[in-house]
């Protein structure tokens, strides 16, 4: 049974009292009306199919045999804010396509007017994605192009994953008696000894797997060793690493990592270290499990409009599910205290995990617990967080010859110091065709040896001094700016076409310029005619001219059919309110390009604030020259 927060509070109040409590006293305690109290009681009794709350003229009393955990523990969601309810509605619409919002109101125990207000808010939110809420009687549906559904689910994933799942503290909360930091240090040291470096989702999923194994061993849940066979050559790099890590874990946690655990750890390391291991992993898991997970994830991608599912996620999930099935068949469970929090805080990710668990459960005919579902959600959340974070990081390669253990500490320190800016894709201790090829592809190369063949190479000391850190920070900003300018150039060339670049057009007022440029964009099908009025409305609020000879007329709304730019360059200044202006740039934005608007806007202001740059741009007579000078 799903209770809201006040229903739970009502039951707790009644359980604390042996005597009758009046509706008036309960209403006061819960800051609601006596009528609502009566509704709460009716619903609780109806859902439990027992009159656990008794009523009389004296008020209400709960059955003395009732245990609150019998039903409060099943309380899956407390959706008490419009934001929570809107997210819940979005999840339901994506999952079921059509929903009865009267049923949703009953489930959430809110009034029909309340849910209708939520629908209005949701309808407004969906305009950003060009998706339409269609209401037919009591039924709601969400309609639109598949690409727009993908944009919506991408944003939902990004909103839920940012800055949560990658935290070591998050895993530590699940296993309070196991030092996750110690496991992390063991893994990093052993990987570094072989000149390997992993971070983000890879290290996070590895730590999670190892912590689950240690937890099982601490609770004496071992596999039947007589059924375990030797799978690997003792010279295989992953098997060597797994054996060394196993010995370190034994010393730190006093648990023996037997052959079953070493085999599992080897398989996990194979998913992290080299794509050449994929064929073996698929064969080991059996084509049935891998094919099942791979096919299921295709279904997940189609059902939830997800575009970023990679082979890495499929392999890791397949290994996790393989172990999950073994635990389920042997009735061995792993407790996850974050289950309720993840259900509450990350409903979309949890919904995807439930969908996956349902298919697994159907396949193996064994119940999958909430705790196991939460571990699946952690895999998904951590993976997507890494993907979204990596989009904003620079790809970095480290070259450092071996200096006893100094090279290991150096790699770890760089990764830790610049974790928000750098994604370390490789570390090498000798130069060969493989390392040189990876360096050529990297945004940044850090080396303890002087190298002159790469544009963004920084020579650092083996100790990573304060000066090294400052030097790296400066180059990171330079490289990020270069990448931004490259992106902006591509955007401007897309949004500004030659026919919308004009010279020396002299009109009598800002309004006439807005109409002139606006009509060009209407004719080119960038905007509807009414959009011109939106630009004028914005101009009336405050002039868009700046003291650097530029005016940037634009609308507050980002409802253009597609993003576009129109420009006029004048040799002689014209009056725009109180400013003398020689450059007029009209920008119309579609909602999907919203993130680029601020970048474009700021770039234009900064560029035209430079008087020397402005003068050079004003001397340009054609479109190609303007683009070239703008980004020189």
Q: What is the pLDDT of residues 243-297, one digit of tens each?
A: 999 999 999 998 888 888 888 888 778 766 544 455 555 665 555 788 888 888 8
Q: With beta carbons less than 8 A apart as the criterion, state whether 322 and 165 touch.
A: no
Mean pLDDT of 304-325: 76
Q: DSSP secondary structure string, 151-206?
A: HHHHHHHHHHHTTTTT-HHHHHHH-TTS-HHHHHHHHHHHHHHTT----HHHHHHH
Query: What is the overall mean pLDDT for the chain?
Result: 79
Specify the pLDDT at position 199.
54
As a whole number of angstroms, the distance between CA 200 and CA 384 comes to: 10
Confidence of residue 564 (pLDDT cuts 50, 70, 90): very high
Ranges 315-324, 486-495, 578-587: which has the least confidence: 315-324
Ranges 105-109, 328-332, 438-442: which has the least confidence: 328-332
Ranges 53-62, 545-554, 580-589: which has the least confidence: 545-554
499: tokens are 């026919």
Specify the pLDDT at position 333.
62
As a whole number of angstroms, the distance between CA 574 and CA 582 comes to: 6
Helices 200-218 and 259-273: crossing angle in degrees, nearest 10, is 170
Cβ count within 10 A of residue 529: 9
Specify the pLDDT at position 319.
77
Q: Residue 458 pLDDT > 60, yes or no?
A: yes
Specify the pLDDT at position 276.
46
Identify the architecture of domain 496-630 in CATH.
3-Layer(aba) Sandwich (3.40)
Specify the pLDDT at position 271.
63
Q: Residue 593 pLDDT > 80, yes or no?
A: no
Widest distance between CA atoms in the chain: 91
As a whole number of angstroms, the distance between CA 417 and CA 199 comes to: 13
Who has greater pLDDT, 7 or 296?
296
- CATH number for the region 5-74 comes to 1.10.10.10
Fold of 394-483: Rossmann fold (3.40.50)
Confidence of residue 505 (pLDDT cuts 50, 70, 90): very high
- Render pLDDT for 38-90 as a digit per residue (tens, 0 to 9): 888 887 877 666 678 888 888 988 876 665 545 544 444 456 678 878 888 88
Mean pLDDT of 94-107: 80
Ranges 89-103, 174-188, 270-284: which has the least confidence: 270-284
Best CA proximity match to 198, nearest among 293, 101, 268, 291: 268
As a whole number of angstroms, the distance between CA 632 and CA 628 comes to: 6
Mean pLDDT of 585-591: 88
Mean pLDDT of 481-504: 88
Query: What's 558's DSSP letter?
Result: -
Who has greater pLDDT, 362 or 305?
362
Q: Residue 358 pLDDT > 50, yes or no?
A: yes
Fold of 82-144: Arc Repressor Mutant, subunit A (1.10.10)
Specify the pLDDT at position 523.
93
Ranges 8-12, 66-70, 211-215, 226-230: which has the least confidence: 66-70
Q: With beta carbons less than 8 A apart as the criterion, state whether 461 and 453 touch.
A: no
Residues in the chain: 632
Any residues with CB less than 8 A from the CB of 356 and at least 6 apart, and which?
296, 297, 300, 317, 376
Q: With beta carbons less than 8 A apart as the criterion, state whether 407 and 400 touch.
A: yes
Specify the pLDDT at position 275.
44
Cα 471 → chain centroid = 31
Ranges 114-128, 279-293, 617-631: which has the least confidence: 279-293
Range picked from 108-112, 245-249, 367-371 for highest mean pLDDT: 245-249
- Per domain, the residue ranges of the chain are 5-74, 82-144, 168-390, 394-483, 496-630
319: tokens are 């290994």
Ranges 119-123, 224-228, 424-428, 533-537: which has the least confidence: 224-228
Range picked from 164-178, 188-202, 489-503 for highest mean pLDDT: 489-503
Confidence of residue 490 (pLDDT cuts 50, 70, 90): confident
Ranges 83-92, 340-349, 445-454, 596-605: which has the least confidence: 340-349
* % of the chain exceeding 90 in pLDDT: 11
| pTM, 2 dp | 0.47
Specify the pLDDT at position 584.
93
Mean pLDDT of 189-210: 73
Range picked from 186-200, 221-235, 264-278, 335-349 for highest mean pLDDT: 186-200
Q: With beta carbons less than 8 A apart as the criterion, state whether 300 and 352 touch.
A: yes
Specify the pLDDT at position 76.
41
Q: Residue 353 pLDDT > 90, yes or no?
A: no
As a whole number of angstroms, the distance between CA 468 and CA 297 comes to: 44
Whether 496-630 and 5-74 are alike in CATH topology: the answer is no
Mean pLDDT of 137-163: 74
Specify the pLDDT at position 224.
53
Specify the pLDDT at position 307.
66
Q: Residue 132 pLDDT > 80, yes or no?
A: yes
Ranges 164-173, 342-351, 361-370, 558-567: which has the least confidence: 164-173
Q: Count Cα neighbours of 360 within 13 Å in the Cβ-side half-sphere.
A: 28
Who has greater pLDDT, 35 or 347?
35
In 401-542, which residue ranges form alpha helices assigned H by DSSP?
Answer: 406-417, 433-441, 466-495, 510-523, 530-541
């Amino acid at each position: 049974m799903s209770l809201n927060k006040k229903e739970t509070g009502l039951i707790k109040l009644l359980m604390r009292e042996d005597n009758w409590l009046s509706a008036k006293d309960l209403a006061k305690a819960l800051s609601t009306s006596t009528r609502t109290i009566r509704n709460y009681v009716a619903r609780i009794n109806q859902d439990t199919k027992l009159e656990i709350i008794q009523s009389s003229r004296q008020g209400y009393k709960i059955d003395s045999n009732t245990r609150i955990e019998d039903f409060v523990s099943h309380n899956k969601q407390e959706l008490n804010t419009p934001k929570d309810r809107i997210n819940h509605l979005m999840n339901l619409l994506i999952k079921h396509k059509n929903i009865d919002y009267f049923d949703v109101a009953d489930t959430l125990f809110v009034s029909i007017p309340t849910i209708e207000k939520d629908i209005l808010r949701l309808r407004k939110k969906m305009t950003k994605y060009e998706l339409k809420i269609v209401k037919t009687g009591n039924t709601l549906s969400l309609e639109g192009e598949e690409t727009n559904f993908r944009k919506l689910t991408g944003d939902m994933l990004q909103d839920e994953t940012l800055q949560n799942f990658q935290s070591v503290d998050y895993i530590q909360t699940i296993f309070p008696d196991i030092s996750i930091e110690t496991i992390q240090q063991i893994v990093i040291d052993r990987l570094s000894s072989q000149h390997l470096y992993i971070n983000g989702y890879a290290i996070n999923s590895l730590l999670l797997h190892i912590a689950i194994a240690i937890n099982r061993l601490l609770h004496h849940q071992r596999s039947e060793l007589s059924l375990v066979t030797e799978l690997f050559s003792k010279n295989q790099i992953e098997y060597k690493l797994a054996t060394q890590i196993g010995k370190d874990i034994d010393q730190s946690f006093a648990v023996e990592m037997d052959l079953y655990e070493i085999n599992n750890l080897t398989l996990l390391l194979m998913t992290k270290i080299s794509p050449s291991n994929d064929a073996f992993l698929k064969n080991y898991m059996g084509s049935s499990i891998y094919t099942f997970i791979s096919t299921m994830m295709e279904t997940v991608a189609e059902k939830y409009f997800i575009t970023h599912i990679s082979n890495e996620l499929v392999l890791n999930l397949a290994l996790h599910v393989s172990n999950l099935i073994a635990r389920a068949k042997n009735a061995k469970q792993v407790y996850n205290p974050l289950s309720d929090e993840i259900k509450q805080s990350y409903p979309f990710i949890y919904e995807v995990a439930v969908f996956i668990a349902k298919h697994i459960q159907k396949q193996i005919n064994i119940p999958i617990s909430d705790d196991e579902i939460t571990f699946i959600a952690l895999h998904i959340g951590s993976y997507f967080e890494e993907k979204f974070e990596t989009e904003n990081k620079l790809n970095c390669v480290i070259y450092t010859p071996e200096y006893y253990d100094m090279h290991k500490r150096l790699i770890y320190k760089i990764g830790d110091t610049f974790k928000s800016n750098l994604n370390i894709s490789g570390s090498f201790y000798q130069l060969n065709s493989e390392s040189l090829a990876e360096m050529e592809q990297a945004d940044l190369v850090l080396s303890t040896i002087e190298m002159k063949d790469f544009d963004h190479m920084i020579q650092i000391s083996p100790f990573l001094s304060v000066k090294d850190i400052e030097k790296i920070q400066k180059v990171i900003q330079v490289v990020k700016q270069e990448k931004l300018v490259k992106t902006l150039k591509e955007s401007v060339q897309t949004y500004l076409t030659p026919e919308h670049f004009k010279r020396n057009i002299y009109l009598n007022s800002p309004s006439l310029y807005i109409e002139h440029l606006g009509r060009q964009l209407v004719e080119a099908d960038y905007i509807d005619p009414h959009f011109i009025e939106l630009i004028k409305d914005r101009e009336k609020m405050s002039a868009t001219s700046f003291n650097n000879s530029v005016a940037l007329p634009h609308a507050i709304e980002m409802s253009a059919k597609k993003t576009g730019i129109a420009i006029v360059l004048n040799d002689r200044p014209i009056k725009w309110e109180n400013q003398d202006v020689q450059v007029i740039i009209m920008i119309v934005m579609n909602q999907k390009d919203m993130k680029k608007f601020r970048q474009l806007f700021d770039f234009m202001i900064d560029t035209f604030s430079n008087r020397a740059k402005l003068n050079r741009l004003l001397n340009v007579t054609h479109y190609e020259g303007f683009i070239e000078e703008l980004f020189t």
